[in-house]
Chains A and B, each alone.
Chain A
Amino acid sequence: MACTTHSMFEKSITRRDALKTIGGMFATGLMVQSFPNVLFAKEKQPNIIFILSDDHRWDILSCLGHPFIQTPYMDRLAKEGVLFENAFVTTSLCSPSRASFITGQYAHTHGVKNNITPWNNSNVTFMELLKGAGYDTAFIGKWHMPGHLPELRGVDQFITFTVQAGQGRYFDCPLIVDGKEIPSQKPYITEELTDYALKFISQKRQKPFCLYLSHKAVHHQFRPPPELAGIYSNVPLNIPKEADSWITWTKGSVWYGLLGPMESFFRRYCETIVSLDQQIGRVLDKLDELGIADNTIVVYAGDNGYFWGEHHLVDKRWPYEESMRIPFIVRYPDFIRNPGRKAEQMVLNIDLAPTLLSLADVPVPKSMEGRSIKPILKDSNAPWRKAWLYEYFKDFPYQVPELNAVRTSRYKYIEYKGRKPADLFDIVKDARETHNLMNTPEGKQVLPELKKMLDQLKKGDQL
């Protein structure tokens, strides 16, 4: 048969011709297959809107069954996208967490370890990489990282504020618009930042855009706009058993600036979340109006959680669930085929940057320590990390020890620097983390493996 076949072709083409022909066909096939991607790649790049809030705790959303708050627009995002029920920050503190979101790196790598250590301008942000891939980019809102305002490479428009050490003010906050200070145009900061965001979104352009909308809300001093002030003044709060009105004064909590009954601050906090939700609604409406909602990724996240009395604490920082968990919702109608679902995988703030880059078909640098959650957006059963590293660095005068922790889907092991003994919790059996398993038979059984994991994670291994 072989000879016959050979004789059939030998007169018409040579072996070299045959190889050339086959190679050519193969190459042509590949070209044909990839031709549309090459041609339309730029057009297919999605717009990106990342909305970051401040201190919005993961469970204060109406779609998660909160007893009184109403957040219809965040709920809408969840209904039309994926709500990550187990989303965390790797450091529960504004500046380190914000730097982790924008760099995809842990605090020990990007260097913003607390609210004192400055931002390093050599840090690479996902916005810089998106700009390199042809995006129009804008950073609007709270930067709040120590040091001077950054030289943000790859950001076309940079609108921020520096008053109150970068925390900004809820009312009449002067803004720095591309380097020039201008007085506030709108009395309430969340509305004013949203105005700038809508203006950026509405610009006529040929390129895709990336908007980083970083709100002051809902950080202390929890000031809602006048029309929302008091809407929750009479609702029952169900604060934790161990809490009372005075915990804002005890255990060094006085530094958090909440001098007054905790309950009144919590009510204002919820009212401020409602205001933020309304402004998110304006962004979603604008996307609908412009007809670009389907090809626009909208991510909503908080920069860390918040204690409202749990563990007799207010504020964040500690590696307990209320502090380290965040709301994290992704909507991308053109990509997410079964929206409205909840994902159980443990995703992190450092996952944002690689996720946005991969969704935009931009290579993810190896220096990024997070993982793209693109597989989870496609498939809720996608395999995922088993454990991750939480870290907190000293932040004088706040009274939380420096620490490292490993969090798995079941356990959390925390090693403190200094004299505080280690903690070990079974998150599944003891969700409120009130029973330290150290020195118990169960604790002794699981401790070696958790210690090993923690060591591996500290070395940079992925688990």
Chain B
Amino acid sequence: MKGQNIHLERPSFVQRVIVPAAIVLAIMIISLLVYWNSWRIDSVGAHRIVANIAAVVLFVSIGFGSLLVYPMAYFRGANAGERIFASLITPIIWLIKESIRVSVFYTFAETLYYGLNPLYLAVFIGPFGLMGICELVCRSIIKKRSDTSIRVITPLPVAAIFAALVALYVFLIWGGGVHWFYIYMEGYKALFI
């Protein structure tokens, strides 16, 4: 939390928030474009290699991008709110893109309800756990570097990690994700059928 103290002059908002977020966002967009156009490569083998690499990078940038964004923002002096904001930009933009895509099939109300689906929730809540881990790691680095009395483990990042683990279990692991999916669908039936 006191990462900003190591800088004598605090970087601008663009440098401490937008740049870290934009790096991961750019990786996500480029890998998305490469993936969806990889089938144009004539060679089957080359197509598969490019598609596999692009897909892995794409999903990692969405699901684990905060592992890069959060420490970057941290060491550039971003405060806690800014770090969280920067870390969520890529997953939120991906969720918005997906919501626009599915709006072709659903009504506006259904599109909003679709936004509560377990995968979306996992994509949104999962980064909080990663941010909690990053926070602990960044603090321990600061502590080692500056020999300050900063407390590495505090309730908030631990709670974030715990909440993310619970959410991932309930949404995606419990019954292979089937149980929560059926609960979600019962909600849909209650609201729309």
Instruction: Mark A residues whose CB is within 8 Å of B.
Output: 116-117, 164-165, 241-242, 244-246, 249-252, 254-255, 257, 312, 394, 396-397, 399-401, 418-420
Establish whether residues A245 and B52, one from each chain, have CB atoms under 8 Å apart when the complex forms.
yes
Q: How far is the CA of A117 from the CA of B177 in the complex (A)?
A: 23
Interface string of B117-144 (1 = CB under 8 A from A): 1010000000000000000000000000
Q: How far is the CA of A116 from the CA of B193 in the complex (A)?
A: 9
Knowing A116-B193, A246-B51, A246-B55 are in contact, say whether A394-B105 is a contact too (CB < 8 A).
Answer: yes
Establish whether residues B189 and A242, one from each chain, have CB atoms under 8 Å apart when the complex forms.
no
Q: Does B85 contact A (CB under 8 A)?
A: no
A281 to chain B, nearest CB (A): 32
Instruction: Tell me the B25-61 residues at the A interface (CB within 8 Å).
Output: 35, 38-39, 44, 47-48, 51-52, 55, 59
Of B35, B38, B104, which is in contact with the most chain A CB atoms at under 10 Å from its CB? Answer: B104
Give the residue name and chain of the B residue nearest to A146 (CB). B189
Give the residue name and chain of the B residue nearest to A245 (CB). B52
Establish whether residues A396 and B188, one from each chain, have CB atoms under 8 Å apart when the complex forms.
yes
Establish whether residues A244 and B47, one from each chain, have CB atoms under 8 Å apart when the complex forms.
yes
Q: Does B102 contact A (CB under 8 A)?
A: yes
Establish whether residues A418 and B104, one from each chain, have CB atoms under 8 Å apart when the complex forms.
yes
Partner among A242, A251, A396, A400 whose Cβ is within 8 Å of the Cβ of B192: A396
Establish whether residues B188 and A397, one from each chain, have CB atoms under 8 Å apart when the complex forms.
yes
Give the residue name and chain of the B residue nearest to A396 (CB). B188
A97 to chain B, nearest CB (A): 20
Establish whether residues A396 and B52, one from each chain, have CB atoms under 8 Å apart when the complex forms.
no
Give the residue name and chain of the B residue nearest to A241 (CB). B39
A259 to chain B, nearest CB (A): 8
Main secondary structure of the interface of A (DSSP, over half): loop
Query: Chain A residues near B105 (CB, 8 Å)?
Result: 394, 399-401, 418
Query: Chain B residues near A117 (CB, 8 Å)?
Result: 193
B91 to chain A, nearest CB (A): 15
A55 to chain B, nearest CB (A): 17
Establish whether residues B182 and A241, one from each chain, have CB atoms under 8 Å apart when the complex forms.
no
Establish whether residues B102 and A252, one from each chain, have CB atoms under 8 Å apart when the complex forms.
yes
- 19 other contacts beyond A116-B189, A249-B55, with CB at 8 A cut-off? A241-B39, A241-B47, A244-B39, A244-B48, A245-B48, A246-B35, A246-B55, A249-B59, A251-B101, A252-B98, A254-B119, A312-B39, A396-B114, A397-B102, A397-B117, A397-B188, A399-B101, A400-B105, A401-B105
Query: Chain B residues near A399 (CB, 8 Å)?
Result: 101-102, 105
Chain B contact residues (Cβ within 8 angstroms of A): what range?
20 to 34
Query: Chain A residues near B102 (CB, 8 Å)?
Result: 252, 397, 399
Establish whether residues A257 and B106, one from each chain, have CB atoms under 8 Å apart when the complex forms.
no
B124 to chain A, nearest CB (A): 15
Q: How far is the CA of A244 from the CA of B51 in the complex (A)?
A: 7
Knowing A164-B178, A396-B188 are in contact, say whether A245-B104 is a contact too (CB < 8 A).
Answer: no
Knowing A241-B39, A249-B59, A396-B192 are in contact, say whether A420-B104 is a contact too (CB < 8 A).
Answer: yes
Establish whether residues A396 and B110, one from each chain, have CB atoms under 8 Å apart when the complex forms.
yes
Q: How far is the CA of A401 from the CA of B98 in the complex (A)?
A: 15
B36 to chain A, nearest CB (A): 8
Establish whether residues B52 and A401, one from each chain, have CB atoms under 8 Å apart when the complex forms.
no
Give the residue name and chain of the B residue nearest to A164 (CB). B178
Give the residue name and chain of the B residue nearest to A418 (CB). B104
Q: Does B176 contact A (CB under 8 A)?
A: yes
Establish whether residues B106 and A396, one from each chain, have CB atoms under 8 Å apart when the complex forms.
yes
A87 to chain B, nearest CB (A): 28
Q: How far is the CA of A418 from the CA of B107 in the complex (A)?
A: 9
Query: Chain A residues near B98 (CB, 8 Å)?
Result: 252
**Can you list 29 A-B pairs with a CB-CB distance of less than 8 A?**
A116-B188, A116-B189, A116-B193, A117-B193, A241-B39, A241-B44, A242-B39, A244-B39, A244-B48, A244-B52, A245-B55, A246-B35, A246-B55, A252-B98, A257-B176, A312-B39, A394-B105, A394-B106, A396-B106, A396-B114, A396-B185, A396-B188, A397-B114, A397-B117, A399-B101, A399-B105, A400-B105, A418-B104, A418-B105
A286 to chain B, nearest CB (A): 35
Instruction: Tell me the B92-113 residues at the A interface (CB within 8 Å).
Output: 98, 101-102, 104-106, 110
Q: How far is the CA of A399 from the CA of B55 in the complex (A)?
A: 20
Of B39, B98, B105, B181, which is in contact with the most chain A CB atoms at under 10 Å from its CB? Answer: B105
Query: Chain B residues near A251 (CB, 8 Å)?
Result: 101
Give the residue name and chain of the B residue nearest to A419 (CB). B104
